[in-house]
Structure 1
Amino acid sequence: MTPEGPFSARFRLITLGTVVLVFVAAFENLAVTTVMPVISAELDGSALYAVAFAAPLAVSVVGMVAAGQWCDTSGPRVPLCASVALFIAGLVVAGLAGSMEQVVVGRLVQGLGSGGVTVTLYVIVARVFPGALQPRVFGLMSAAWVIPALVGPFIAGVLGETVGWRWVFLGVAFICVPALGLLLPVMRTLRRAQTGTASGFRIPRLLWSGLLAAGILALSVSAEFGGAVALVVAVAAVVVAVVAIRPLVPRGTLTGRTGLPRIVLTRLVLAGGFFATETYLPYLLTRDYDFSPGQAGLALSVSGVAWGAASLLQGRYAARLRDRAVLTAGTALVAAAVAVTLATAALGLPGWIAIAGWALSGTGMGLAYPRLSVLLLSGSSHDDQGFNSSALNIADAAGPAVALSVAGLAFQALPGAGADGFARVFGLGLLLALGAVALARGAAPRTAPSAVSGARG
């Protein structure tokens, strides 16, 4: 008997709907990263550049927690619809914005929706697909980043230079509508019997998620206060964020306890180092190297393609590859890529070196990210899939949000916001990436390969 695949009759609609939604989110992510320097210049919003990225990540934590509890209570159908609706609303607000502050508001709404979408997709994969198929499904989800990586930055650059950056947001909003329509029949196939036994929303967890978001947002704008006040606000915000995240992740996460806690912490640190660097790389290329937005977007393209290819390969050969070796190689490649970017900024090397080197980061993330998702799902029971999926995705959001906030503080508040400012940002990224290398060794057992896998964010 031929084994069922992700596109067999039983799973075809669910697989297709999931991949399309990831495709749309991937295009938006890469396109906005490419065109944000243009938005910042037109709206005089350089002071809010980092905030425009950190803010949606911070608020997405609330969406993740709410969606995770909602999924555990009644299944993923309704939370997915609500999350997609919020995502679209945020895109419209940002696309129609007349100031950088309004762009940030739209990004906040968008982030709330994107956080919910990510968690519900994880729960759908965990509940619908057998463990043997999950590596292939998550590999397809990562592969959905390949085409956006190839064309997203280019299209965003062209739009920014011709009809305007607003269509990067509004165009994606239009695409989301048919994507949601495709998913509606998919979600009807999820039987109510597949829901968990959770007793309902845990209000304290929602409050903690709101406090975490508030702490990250305060950190992201702390540079605006200037001087000693900025430092005091930043330190207080970090303390609030650390206190608030503890109830939202497995016990022992902040101390790196072996098992699920170490998996979540590794993901948090790795995501922080990668995305802080990737967000500022197009900014470096457009400002200091006179690259066009489309040319600067090549860095995102090569990384995205490498990410998708590496993820597909590790998914195909998941049964042969040991978790510890994959995680160590993946995190080391990310650290090497960030080191190349740092050297480019600090030594004034040609910009194409940073673009070529950034392909290593995509390869590393394509290896490490899926395998961390594997380990998390394989260690989760049916009733805590929502909580653990939420925790992993909170790490995906909180790590980059805090890293971007600190990067923005270093770039804006400290003297020398030119090449030295970029070097400080990339130095922070390297420190985090090296931390992920150290954590990765304890995030997986020494022996058996995993039975399941995961995808880009």
Structure 2
Amino acid sequence: MTAPLDSRGASWSELLTADYSTATTTLCLGVALFAFNGFLVSTSLPTAVGEIGGLELISWAFTLYLVLSIIGGASAALLKARFGARMALVASALVFLAGTLIAAFASSMTEVLIGRALQGLGEGVIAAICYALIPELFPSRLVAKVFGAEAVVWALAAFGGPLVSGMLTEHVSWRAAFLVNVPLGLIFIALVFRIVPRFSGETDRLTVPFMRLVAIGTGIMFVALASIMQAVSLEVLFVLGAAIVLASVVVIDRRSATPLFPSDAFALNSTVGIGLWIVLLMPVAQSSTSVYLVLTLQNLWGYGPTKAGAFSATFAIAWSLCAILVANIGDPRHRSWMIRLGPTLLVSGLAILVLGFSLDAAFVVMAGQILIGTGFGVSWGFLSQTVMESARDGERDRASALLPTLQSAGYAIGAALAGLAANVAGYPLATNPDDLRSATMTIFAVSTIIGIGAMIAGYALPLRKKTLLGVRQEAQMP
């Protein structure tokens, strides 16, 4: 009789044993750098602008970070292959720290933008390589628990980041909020030296696909510009331009001798291809809540910033709790159903948001928000693991590193599409509760439709036999 996977040693405490504790800490710290940095900056930057000026450039502090982080993430697998994970992580962490120091001691908004760009470039590589290291540093039975631990880090960042940044900004300085990243970065570098082995491969033939990286950056820049356009026609133009550029990059990359992506990226007949569609479409659908939920709660129901923020944070809480709960699932069939359940819950949650606003019922809206977080929590770890383990021979690093990069791209694309839907629905011009409610319902209805694409992909996802067989064999190991 085969024992359940979790009963064969795959307990949470194993992440804290001598074999895995340092690796767990390192990867979670890599996630923390990314997660906390976003909340630290978003809370402290308005105060910084008040001191050094540059209000008209404040959105670019986030745009440049996003664009450079996606470029860094796209190049991460190549950097890991050429220089090894240790050198790539240390170099990227140093770039991140350099950007942090430049931004923290900036005397103008231009210097802040330079620092944010360097932060984005470094953190993009760090996040992607940390993902790629998960299947190298942990056995398959622990991978879902690693993703659960990282989900907890995100939840802590969602609550602790704004609190820490707010206290430092208010009682010390906005510069102190930026400098929180320095000790975290130095600890991360020390841990990398401890757990990541030296690279013994060849480093003398580095071919950097500059044109494709520039094209990726251009496509994401089009997306970012679309999200701030006031004219609907310009938004549509930029979104279409981004789609054409990014699709062209994928097509050209498949024929390249130095590919950035897996050879079957976005193919409709492979586990990796369809899995990457889910990884992209779920954040695209969910991002509308990140952009418009808090704003609507404040303008429609008169919530204060703290109450609206706590309301929105139920998404992160649900994600983290569910990720922890389902990490104990070892049966491959049950895991496959969790992957399919995730987008289904996402679509249901978005539809419930529409219903909640139509009924003017806050508890219904919160239920929808919790359901969306639950959808991500039950599926994201298993989905990521499936993509990693289903990659073709020699392509696991590219598949793994693409996951956080694609997630970031999904949020950027989703924000642009939500902005387009908001402008078409008249959200910026809504002057009374009925108009605001109607526009909000339209935004989330569009997101629901996008989510259906992720749900269809989930049920179309083929699970490769060799992946399931490998999990079963590990479950039978003593």
TM range (shorter): 0.7 to 0.9
Q: Does 1:273 align with 2:275?
A: no
Shift in Å, 1:255:
4.7
Aligned to 1:375: 386
Q: Does 1:145 align with 2:149?
A: no
Aligned pairs for 1:42-441 (under 5 A) are: 55-90=64-99, 107-153=116-162, 162=170, 167=174, 170-171=176-177, 173-192=179-198, 200-204=205-209, 206-222=210-226, 224=229, 226=231, 228-246=233-251, 247=253, 248-319=260-331, 322-345=334-357, 347=358, 349-380=360-391, 383-412=394-423, 415-417=426-428, 418=430, 419=436, 420-441=438-459
Supply the distance in 1 between the matched residues of 2:103 and 2:420 (Cα, whole angstroms).
Answer: 24
Q: Does 1:10 align with 2:28?
A: no
* C-alpha distance 47-24 of structure 1, shift in aligned 2 (>3 A): closer
1:359-400 CA distance string (max 9 Å, x none): 111111011111111112212367423211232233212222
CA contact (8 A) 2:212 2:249 kept: yes
Query: 430-439 or 151-160: which moved more?
Result: 151-160
1:178-208 CA distance string (max 9 Å, x none): 4532541443332236x6678854422x421
Shift in Å, 1:410:
3.6
Query: 149-158 or 372-381: which moved more?
Result: 149-158
Shift in Å, 1:71:
1.0
1:299-335 CA distance string (max 9 Å, x none): 3432212111211222222336523310121111111
TM-score, normalised by the number of residues in structure 1: 0.81
* C-alpha distance 233-311 of structure 1, shift in aligned 2 (>3 A): closer
1:383-437 CA distance string (max 9 Å, x none): 4232112322332122221221222344357744242554443233222211111
Query: 62-71 or 220-229: which moved more?
Result: 220-229
TM-score, normalised by the number of residues in structure 2: 0.78
Q: Which has the larger radius of gyration?
A: 2
Letter in 2 for 1:429: S
* C-alpha distance 451-403 of structure 1, shift in aligned 2 (>3 A): same
CA contact (8 A) 1:153 1:300 kept: no
Could you tell me which runs of 5 or more consecutive residues in structure 1 were left unpaired when the two chains were aligned. Answer: 453-457
Q: Tell me the number of residue pairs that the alignment of Structure 1 and Structure 2 aligns.
A: 444
Supply the distance in 2 between the matched residues of 1:35 and 1:342 (Cα, whole angstroms).
Answer: 33
Supply the distance in 1 between the matched residues of 2:268 and 2:105 (Cα, whole angstroms).
Answer: 43
SS in structure 2 opposite 1:144?
Answer: helix
Query: 354-363 or 231-240: which moved more?
Result: 231-240
Supply the distance in 1 between the matched residues of 2:456 and 2:421 (Cα, whole angstroms).
Answer: 25
Aligned to 2:476: none
Shift in Å, 1:96:
7.1
CA contact (8 A) 2:41 2:177 kept: no
Letter in 2 for 1:411: A
SS in structure 2 opposite 1:263?
Answer: helix
Letter in 2 for 1:180: L
CA contact (8 A) 2:262 2:391 kept: no
CA contact (8 A) 2:329 2:335 kept: no
* C-alpha distance 31-182 of structure 1, shift in aligned 2 (>3 A): closer
CA contact (8 A) 1:220 1:408 kept: no
Supply the distance in 1 between the matched residues of 2:154 and 2:198 (Cα, whole angstroms).
Answer: 31
CA contact (8 A) 1:39 1:45 kept: no
Supply the distance in 2 between the matched residues of 1:21 and 1:395 (Cα, whole angstroms).
Answer: 17
SS in structure 2 opposite 1:445?
Answer: coil
Supply the distance in 1 between the matched residues of 2:445 and 2:220 (Cα, whole angstroms).
Answer: 20
* C-alpha distance 65-343 of structure 1, shift in aligned 2 (>3 A): same
Letter in 1 for 2:341: A
Letter in 1 for 2:379: A
**Of the candidates 31, 45, 51, which is equivalent to residue 22 of structure 1?**
31
* C-alpha distance 128-368 of structure 1, shift in aligned 2 (>3 A): same
Shift in Å, 1:97:
7.6
Aligned to 2:3: none
Letter in 2 for 1:435: G
Shift in Å, 1:37:
9.5
Letter in 2 for 1:404: A
* C-alpha distance 153-337 of structure 1, shift in aligned 2 (>3 A): farther
1:35-76 CA distance string (max 9 Å, x none): 899999999979986x76565333322101222111122221
CA contact (8 A) 1:26 1:148 kept: yes
SS in structure 2 opposite 1:191?
Answer: coil
Shift in Å, 1:263:
0.9
* C-alpha distance 40-236 of structure 1, shift in aligned 2 (>3 A): farther
Letter in 1 for 2:383: L
Supply the distance in 2 between the matched residues of 1:241 and 1:438 (Cα, whole angstroms).
Answer: 22
Supply the distance in 2 between the matched residues of 1:92 and 1:300 (Cα, whole angstroms).
Answer: 31
Aligned to 1:455: none
Supply the distance in 2 between the matched residues of 1:41 and 1:450 (Cα, whole angstroms).
Answer: 56
**Of the candidates 426, 429, 443, which is equivalent to residue 461 of structure 2?**
443
CA contact (8 A) 1:153 1:297 kept: no
Shift in Å, 1:439:
0.3
The percent identity for this pair of structures is 22
